[in-house]
């Protein structure tokens, strides 16, 4: 069966590559949209991994949580994650528009009068009280409050630049590069949560997998063990999907967890920085064009529920192997994205 499938794919690739339309619809694009390709891939995986167990996956281990056992998969790799110091809080002191009632024209007028910083406005009759409140709070202001302050600023270009520049403020170990895989778009279990963290010169990815549908509470609890009040979620479309989805599952299980953390959704940063130079701003497009990375046999999200159900019904880990790897690559890529975005904005 494997040889027949390989021959079929070889012939199809040859036909496509030599057809008049091959320039606009190459074989790799066929793979991305063909249900039959992913059906065949699943069959290959079932054969390849039929004698394997989840604990055969590199870095896997069964762990105990207050809500029972679940599977943990931990991997470590080197990373060059360097956010050069930019003294962002001092930059904020020079942004008069962070104060109420100061817009672009008012800022220009104030600077012509010699008020170059918020601190200098302590001597201004109309703005001194707002300046005093700002300066009293800035040194102790948590990162989440700084993000909120910048998000509320209506001067969009400078705001977006500053939202990227401000990532120099937290300790890098507070970044939680996170992604989830689910059984659908809403009101269904989370089957996999991945979180990556910077530890010195390494990035550690920790993934928690639902071996069966009764383990969702254990998976959630294992993920929450990585979080504290200083944690910063870093996601790709996480504001729209991942975080609301997790909150929905918390409500479903009647769990009271404070999940309102600082959040950097890199999808919006990507559209702001790269939309004019890339075909689109999907995560894998950014990997390809900005980092020279291209995935092999990556399973799109619409096939994940079917792959997971096959894993359960066949008691075969094969269909889940590329999905677990997909999730791991997603969270590690987020760290690379953030470092690249920070570099571009600070040294443009």
What is the model's pLDDT at position 219? 97
Instruction: Give pLDDT tens digits for 2-26.
Output: 444 444 444 334 433 443 333 443 4
What is the model's pLDDT at position 7? 44
Reported pTM: 0.87
- Strands in 202-209's sheet, in edge-to-edge order, are 60-65, 68-78, 202-209, 190-199, 175-182, 232-235, 262-265
What is the model's pLDDT at position 138? 86
Residue that is written with structure tokens 């690249």 in the block: 340
Cα–Cα distance measured from residue 317 to residue 73, given in angstroms and rounded to the nearest whole number: 14
From residue 316, alpha-carbon distances to 46, 50, 149, 184, 313 in Å are: 6, 6, 49, 21, 8
pLDDT of the chain, 348 residues: tens digit per residue: 444 444 444 433 443 344 333 344 344 554 555 889 999 999 999 999 999 999 999 999 999 999 999 999 999 999 999 899 999 988 899 999 999 989 889 999 999 999 999 999 999 999 999 999 999 888 888 999 999 888 887 665 667 888 999 999 999 999 999 999 999 999 999 999 999 999 999 999 999 999 999 999 999 999 999 999 999 999 999 999 999 999 999 999 999 888 889 999 999 999 999 999 999 999 999 999 999 988 888 899 999 999 999 999 999 999 999 999 999 999 999 999 999 999 999 876
What is the model's pLDDT at position 149? 87
Bridge partners, 232 (sequence order): 175, 262
Bridge partners, 199 (sequence order): 202
**Residue 173 φ then ψ, to 5°:** -70, -15
From residue 163, alpha-carbon distances to 86, 92, 167, 280 in Å are: 13, 11, 7, 22
Cα–Cα distance measured from residue 237 to residue 337, given in angstroms and rounded to the nearest whole number: 13
Instruction: Give pLDDT tens digits for 236-261.
Output: 999 999 999 999 999 999 998 888 89
Cα–Cα distance measured from residue 190 to residue 282, given in angstroms and rounded to the nearest whole number: 22
What is the model's pLDDT at position 90? 87
């Amino acid at each position: 069966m494997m040889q027949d499938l390989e021959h079929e794919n070889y012939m199809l690739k040859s036909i496509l590559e030599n057809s008049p339309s091959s320039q606009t619809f190459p074989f790799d694009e066929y793979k991305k949209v063909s249900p039959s390709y992913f059906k065949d891939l699943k069959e290959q995986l079932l054969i390849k991994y039929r004698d394997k167990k989840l604990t055969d996956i590199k870095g896997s281990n069964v762990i105990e949580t207050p809500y029972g056992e679940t599977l943990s998969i931990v991997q470590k790799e080197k990373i060059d994650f360097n956010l050069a110091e930019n003294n962002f809080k001092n930059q904020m002191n020079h942004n008069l528009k962070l104060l109420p009632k100061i817009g672009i024209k008012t800022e220009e007028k104030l600077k012509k009068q010699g008020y170059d910083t918020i601190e200098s406005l302590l001597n201004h009759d109309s703005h001194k009280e707002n300046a005093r409140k700002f300066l009293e709070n800035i040194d102790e202001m948590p990162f989440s409050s700084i993000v909120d302050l910048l998000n509320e600023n209506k001067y969009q270009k400078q705001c977006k630049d500053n939202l990227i520049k401000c990532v120099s403020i937290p300790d890098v170990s507070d970044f939680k590069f996170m992604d989830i895989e689910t059984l659908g778009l809403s009101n269904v279990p989370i089957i996999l949560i991945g979180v990556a963290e910077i530890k010195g010169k390494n990035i550690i990815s920790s993934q928690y997998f639902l071996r069966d549908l009764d383990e969702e509470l254990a998976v959630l609890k294992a993920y929450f063990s990585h979080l504290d009040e200083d944690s910063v979620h870093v996601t790709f479309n996480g504001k729209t999907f991942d975080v609301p989805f997790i909150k929905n599952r918390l409500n479903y299980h009647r769990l009271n967890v404070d999940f309102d953390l600082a959040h950097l959704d890199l999808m919006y940063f990507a559209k702001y920085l790269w939309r004019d130079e890339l075909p689109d701003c999907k995560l894998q497009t950014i990997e390809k064009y900005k980092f020279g990375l291209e995935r092999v046999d990556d399973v799109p999200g619409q096939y994940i529920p079917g792959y997971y159900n096959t894993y359960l019904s066949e008691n075969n880990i094969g269909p889940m192997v590329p999905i677990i790897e997909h999730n791991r690559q997603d969270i590690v890529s987020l760290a690379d994205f953030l470092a690249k975005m920070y570099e571009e904005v600070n040294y443009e």
